[in-house]
């Protein structure tokens, strides 16, 4: 009898533990796939969201938007997707991955970054074509790379990069580590790097604007919470954090 009673008690405790991990209580994990350039502001936004929604934990996968889109198409589980351009989000919509209408929440443009002190004396896009200069950019398939291509077309400057990276943070990393003399990154990434780089404005980039959309994913386990996170990003709190990080309004 005693053994049966203990077994029954153990079963009850196990059932209670399982219930606390689900939507009935305890900590629920919300998985957000977000463009690499959103790492800093989205981390802060998540902290604020968790404070406003006790029991909910936000976990991120940050990478190039096109890589994230490919992972989602291959069945990677996630609740929210935030892309660094509309092209990638449009592809997700066309693939039937998105629930509802994506919402634009921020904008971004490109800037030139160099090693601290700008030892190569780079002052313009034209200077990036100089002999012996190692320049890195994003690959055309990712939003920052597509923006770079548009910038080249608009300015008439044809770059010859030594490498094309899969995310804007990889471009920034090549410059801050001394592996490249200069790179084209988002203004927000340049701001976030602080004294690790020198920023050289590219006036032509003002017309090359990337619009960032966010959306709840159709296969989300927690649609209500995912929708709440999207509203938080696009609301006053989210936009304040994004503006402080250098993002423009949509």
Convert the pLDDT of each residue in 196-219 to its tens digit.
Answer: 999 999 999 999 999 999 999 999
| Residue 132: count of CB within 10 angstroms of its CB | 6
pLDDT digits (tens, 9 = 90+) for 10-30: 433 333 333 333 333 345 899
pTM over 0.75: yes
> Are 96 and 113 within 8 A, CB to CB?
no
pLDDT for 27 equals 56
Q: pLDDT tens digits, residue range 73-84?
A: 999 999 999 999
Neighbouring residues of 186: CB distance < 8 A, sequence distance ≥ 6: 37, 84, 108, 109, 110, 111, 144, 168, 210
Q: Are 106 and 100 in contact (CB under 8 A)?
A: no
Sign, Cα dihedral of 115, 118, 124, 129: negative
Asked if 214 contacts 234 with a C-beta cutoff of 8 angstroms, the reply is yes
- Angle among Cα 37, 42, 48 to the nearest 5 degrees reads 165
Q: What is the per-residue pLDDT across 32-49, written as a single tens digit (0 to 9) for each?
A: 999 999 999 999 999 999
List the domains of the chain with CATH numbers.
2-107+212-244 (3.40.190.10), 110-207 (3.40.190.10)
């Amino acid at each position: 009898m005693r053994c049966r009673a203990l077994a029954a008690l153990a079963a009850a405790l196990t059932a209670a533990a399982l219930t606390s991990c689900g939507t009935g209580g305890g900590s629920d994990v919300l998985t957000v796939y977000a463009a690499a350039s959103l790492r800093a502001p989205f981390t802060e936004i998540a902290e604020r969201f968790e404070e406003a929604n006790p029991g909910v934990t936000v976990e991120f996968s940050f990478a190039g938007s096109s890589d994230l889109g490919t992972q989602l198409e291959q069945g990677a589980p996630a609740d929210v997707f935030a892309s660094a351009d509309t092209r990638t989000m449009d592809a997700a919509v066309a693939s039937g991955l998105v629930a509802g209408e994506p919402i634009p929440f921020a904008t971004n443009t490109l800037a030139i970054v160099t090693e601290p002190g700008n030892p190569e004396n780079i002052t313009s896009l034209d200077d990036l074509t100089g002999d012996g200069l190692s320049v890195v950019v994003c690959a055309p398939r990712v939003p920052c790379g597509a923006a770079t291509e548009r910038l080249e077309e608009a300015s008439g400057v044809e770059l010859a990069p030594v490498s094309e990276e899969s995310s804007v943070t990889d471009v920034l990393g090549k410059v801050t580590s001394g592996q490249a003399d200069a790179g084209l990154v988002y203004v927000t990434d340049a701001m976030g790097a602080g004294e690790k780089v020198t920023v050289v404005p590219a006036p032509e980039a003002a017309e090359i604007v990337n619009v960032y959309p966010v959306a709840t994913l159709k296969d989300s386990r927690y649609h209500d919470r995912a929708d709440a996170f999207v509203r938080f990003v696009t609301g006053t709190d989210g936009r304040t954090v994004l503006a402080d990080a250098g993002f423009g309004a949509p």
